Structure 1
Amino acid sequence: MITVGENYYLTVDLMPPDVASISDVQQKIAAEVAQKEEGEWVIGQGFFNMTDGRTPNRYDLDAVAPNNPVYIVHISGHMAVANSMALEIAGVDSSTQNPAGGVIEKDSLTGEPTGVLLNHYAMILIKEHVPSFTIEEYCQALEPVLDLYHDNGLTSIQDVNVGVINKLMGYKEADSLGILSVRTASYLTAETPQTVYNALNFFAADTERYETPMLKFAGFKLLVDGYAPMSYCYEQTNGFTWNMGTWDPDTLKKVVSMIHDADYQLSIHCMGDRAIDEALDALEYALQKNPKQDHRHRLEHCFIPTDEALQRIKNLGLVVSFQPGALYSSGESYRY
């Protein structure tokens, strides 16, 4: 919910159907640049498949923002594009190697980065330089979203896309001010083991802040792979071979077990059959070490599971959170 507010009220809205082409993206970015000082960051969210038949690149963004760093994120959250100034600030150039679990797309002729970053470990290279929004800004962005939810009869939600501590604190601020009128269970998206370690220490110091009648810190969301075509599969999928997971399997087991032992719920993003199996291995490891009834750990998306995986899901008592809309929009990417 708070990310909806961020997308619509704190960043440049690049969502379809209003934004369908690279030209549309450029117009939106140019309008934002006109409101900024030279050198200020411009952040956009939500672009999807372009009618141009390709993803925007650094040069498309440079054309309308030569003097501002620009960073735009795909609707899936698993791909982003940075312009030349943003790449320079982050020190990403032709010599930069792919991080484990991510890809810096490079021009096949020049070897220069195109600006396209695939999956979170590549995106982090830029994101760590982007200024974070304040707690107050996140809190303010919530208010119009709450009105939208009320208009549609929603009284309780689960937010599994809380990417930074400031977003959690934005929820807390809204709750303390009496603004948070939709019961919210929030999950911190942890892209690295260190994020989990830091968060567990943070919450252990003052857990009650996240246990009010309207707000609960419910657990963690981990990302084992990306979004089509960056799903972690055993075989090549249509148009792209993604042969890497975003977590080392042994590290994933340790982190999942740590979260489970701390009595938090796990939400594990897995879009490919191999990613599903690695998530199941980690959850099975945690549950064998420390059996619990009604743990409510869940697999997010869970696309193309094997028959064996479906049986393991049943045996482990896991919840599957499946989004038919995503399969409708990206199903062709999963054809072998």
Structure 2
Amino acid sequence: MRGDMAPEADWIFTDARIWRGGPEGAAPGDADSHGVREGALALREGRVLALGAASQVMAHRGPDTAIFSLGGRFVMPGFVDAHVHLLTGGLRLFRVDLRGASSRQEFHQRVADRTRITPVGEWILGGDWNQEDWGGAFPDRSWLDRATGEHPVFLQRMDLHMGLANSVALELAGISAETSDPENGRIDRDPETGEPTGILRERAMLPIYDAIPDLSDEDCIAAIRTGAIGALALGITQVHDMGAVQKLSESWQSLRVLGTLEAEGRLPLRVNAALPVRHWRRAAELVQAEGYGGGRLRWGGVKAFVDGSFGSSTAWFDEPYLHEPDSRGGPVCDLKRLEADLTGALESGLQPVVHAIGDRANDWLLELCATLERRTPGLTESLRVEHAQHLSEAGLAEFGRTRRFASVQPLHILDDAPWIEMKIGEDRGRRSYAFGSLAAGGARVALGSDWPVAPMDPLGAVRTAMTRILPEGVGAGEGGVWNPGERLDLATALRAHTWGGAVAGGWEAETGSLDPGKFADFIVLSENPFEVDPEALGRDVQVDMTFVDGILAHRRDDSPL
């Protein structure tokens, strides 16, 4: 029975192997070399009450305490996915899926199948195509026109930085041979006729976005809840939502819907929502009026973009692309405006989360931070660099020197690594996806997915960060390993996908580790990941249970628990 002074637990989970998580060096003295200890976990009112040796934790047992044996399974903090597009990802589950389409014929048929069940004249949306899957040639509107009739169609590439429109969509958007390329964007054209091919890059997509009807709140709720429930099945208890990728207004609509779900007790997991940096004044007013949120919903981040994407060859590099010698990519915005917006946001207590992929984009952002720090020391401490995929030597050192947040996505390696040497060469490729150097140098690393650009799969992300093994048949080093010197060990990868994300989102006081007093956001794995081959993560090691606020939010159907 519990001692008179010991608070009574609601739940005690026994026969567990517990990895508490938290910052490096935080493991208790009775843990093994990996920080894992055998024992029990007690919960009270949705928070961690105690963990440790079963004899100590059972002191919190009362007459109404429920006892649950985990049969020796592995318990750890829930995964934090530090970079998702929750609304966009949820919507994609209801739209045309072109991921893995390996020929023009397959591309065409998947779209034609969706056309058959879509009312005449309604938009057909979706995408996730990758031109490398069928040899590298970009599709054009002729791939769509014959199959889609009166439907306007817009299908984005998997990175969301370019898309393919059919002729109906181009007409509705007012894009023709006479339309000039916008600043920071490009309309691909037939070299003989000058007519748009249908491929629109970066800001050239804006007229299409304007022509697409606004979302209903009902569609927004369905998309968010579907995406969130899918995340829970993967062991994700917290996501950092980067907002909409089309209309800026969608980010505000998404936040409003998230707030409604939170107030009604229907938000399945924790969400840290970002708003557009262009709207930082409005975001600052929200924070001033209502704070940064609480419970399962927070806000205060503002999303910005410096450049485009590697796959679309719009990422900004110091030196030209090898396959496009006349192009270095470039910024996708007015840099003076971006500098003013970031400065205003920081001075207002907001957290910029800034997309930067190419080495020049990262250097520009780091140089801006250095300038602002000289003016106001500590001002840029919260700023996050999203992706940080390709770094200069100076940039890599600066990440460590300033302990800059690097929010990175390991599963992008599987999409980009096969083409890195062809596009930017071996030397620049050595500093691509430099997770090991970032972590060893002192940068604060957080792992995420960028869903739906890449799959939402934390165990797969940890596996890829550890092994950097590319798919069979794809060029890499010995054993299929690409840049082996940049691998992370398991403890570092798990920490970056839990504690690292919580710190990057300013939520570490209540999430990211299983310390007493924190929210009881944790998962139960079928095996101890420290005792299996890394390649078994996501295959033999599976998520049996997911808890948010101490409430069972997911249970694997075939789990014996």
* TM-score where L is the length of structure 1: 0.89
Q: Does 1:188 align with 2:275?
A: yes
Counterpart selection for 1:314 from 379, 400, 404: 400
CA offsets per residue over residues 132-191 of structure 1, 9 Å max, x none?
21222111122333332222222112122434222222322322222212111112355x
What is the distance in 2 between the residues matched to 1:94 and 1:265?
41
CA offsets per residue over residues 227-270 of structure 1, 9 Å max, x none?
11211112111323244311222222111101111211111111
Residue identity in the other structure for 1:326: H
1:221–1:267 contact (8 Å) kept in structure 2:
yes
What is the distance in 1 between the residues matched to 2:288 and 2:349?
15
| Equivalent residue, structure 2, for 1:44 | 126
| Equivalent residue, structure 2, for 1:234 | 318
Q: Does 1:335 align with 2:394?
A: no
1:7-156, aligned counterparts within 5 Å?
7-9=92-94, 11-16=95-100, 19-49=101-131, 50-51=133-134, 53-119=136-202, 121-156=203-238
What is the distance in 1 between the residues matched to 2:164 and 2:98?
13
Q: How far off its partner does 1:335 sit?
A: 2.2
Query: Greater Rg, structure 1 or structure 2?
Result: 2
Residue identity in the other structure for 1:235: E
SS of 2:294's partner is coil
Q: How far off its partner does 1:40 sit?
A: 1.6
Q: Does 1:166 align with 2:231?
A: no
Supply the RMSD in Å over aligned alpha carbons: 2.3
What is the distance in 1 between the residues matched to 2:373 and 2:414?
33
What is the distance in 2 between the residues matched to 1:211 and 1:290?
27
What is the distance in 1 between the residues matched to 2:268 and 2:383?
26
2:373–2:379 contact (8 Å) kept in structure 1:
no
SS of 2:151's partner is coil
Residue identity in the other structure for 1:231: A
Q: Does 1:272 align with 2:358?
A: yes
* Change in CA separation of 1:131 and 1:290 when aligned onto 2, cut-off 3 Å: farther
Residue identity in the other structure for 1:174: L
SS of 1:149's partner is helix
Residue identity in the other structure for 1:133: L
2:284–2:345 contact (8 Å) kept in structure 1:
no
What is the distance in 2 between the residues matched to 1:113 and 1:299?
34
What is the distance in 2 between the residues matched to 1:262 and 1:214?
23
SS of 1:187's partner is strand
2:359–2:390 contact (8 Å) kept in structure 1:
yes
* TM-score where L is the length of structure 2: 0.55
What is the distance in 2 between the residues matched to 1:172 and 1:27?
39
Q: How far off its partner does 1:202 sit?
A: 6.6
Residue identity in the other structure for 1:238: L
* Change in CA separation of 1:152 and 1:201 when aligned onto 2, cut-off 3 Å: closer
What is the distance in 2 between the residues matched to 1:207 and 1:107?
52
What is the distance in 1 between the residues matched to 2:284 and 2:382?
23
| Equivalent residue, structure 2, for 1:291 | 377
What is the distance in 2 between the residues matched to 1:287 and 1:169?
34
Structure having the larger proportion of residues in helix = 1
Unmatched 5+ stretches in structure 1: none
2:280–2:344 contact (8 Å) kept in structure 1:
no
Q: Does 1:302 align with 2:394?
A: no
* Change in CA separation of 1:161 and 1:25 when aligned onto 2, cut-off 3 Å: farther
Identity level (%)? 25
SS of 2:176's partner is coil
- Structure 1 window deviating more from structure 2 (50-59 vs 217-226): it is 50-59
What is the distance in 1 between the residues matched to 2:177 and 2:229?
47
1:245-256, aligned counterparts within 5 Å?
245-256=331-342
2:356–2:385 contact (8 Å) kept in structure 1:
yes
Aligned residues: 327
| Equivalent residue, structure 2, for 1:176 | 263
Higher relative contact order (CA 8 A, sep 6+): 2
Structure 1 residue runs of 4+, over 6 Å off? Answer: none
1:259–1:265 contact (8 Å) kept in structure 2:
yes
